[in-house]
A = this chain, B = another copy of it.
């Protein structure tokens, strides 16, 4: 099972702690982490996953792997800039968003377009034409996020 963890390359200490805990829990549940491979939330989730023996994939925007954080096991050098945001979420069975800026918002949008479940920790919320869009599943804390992501990914796997 592959779970995407998305968030900004610059993040608060609290977001980094959350991301690291998410990475630890995903590794303990034997889920592979995929992310954008850079710093901030991406680095923290990889560090957490590696500390518990997990596998980490970083899909990078540039032309070589030099920007990958040092906790990425498998750097995918996309060559397509921020179009790599699609690969991060489409390769996953569920997505956990932690905080995040407009890049993260584009990833949320691509995931929802493909019906890939998005679990949100202190992230974007959306409304459309004045009505709330409840597609992002808001949770509290790393444990709830990972439980929910894995449950929804398993459900999705059963449907296919």
Residues on A close to B: CB < 8 A?
Answer: 2, 32, 57, 59, 63-65, 74-83, 86-87, 90-91, 99-103, 105-106, 108-110, 112-114, 122-130, 133
Choose from B87, B99, B106, B125 the contact partner of A78 (Cβ within 8 Å).
Answer: B87
Decide yes or no: A122 and B113 within 8 Å by CB, A83-B80, A91-B76 being known contacts: no
Q: Which of A64, A76, A130 has the most CB of B within 10 A?
A: A76
B57 touches A74 (CB 8 A): yes
- Copies of this chain present in the complex amount to 4
A106 touches B103 (CB 8 A): no
Q: State in angstroms the CA–CA spacing of A32 and B100 once bound together.
A: 32
Decide yes or no: A74 and B113 within 8 Å by CB, A90-B79, A123-B129 being known contacts: no
Shortest distance between the CB of A124 and any CB in chain B (Å): 5
Decide yes or no: A125 and B127 within 8 Å by CB, A83-B79, A109-B103 being known contacts: yes
A contact face: mostly helix, strand, loop, or mixed: mixed
The 10 A-B pairs at the shortest CB distance, nearest first, are namely A83-B83, A79-B86, A106-B109, A102-B113, A77-B90, A105-B109, A80-B80, A77-B91, A102-B112, A102-B109
Q: Besides A78-B80, A105-B112, A106-B109, 5 other CB < 8 A contacts?
A: A77-B87, A78-B78, A78-B86, A106-B106, A106-B113
A127 touches B129 (CB 8 A): no
Shortest distance between the CB of A116 and any CB in chain B (Å): 10
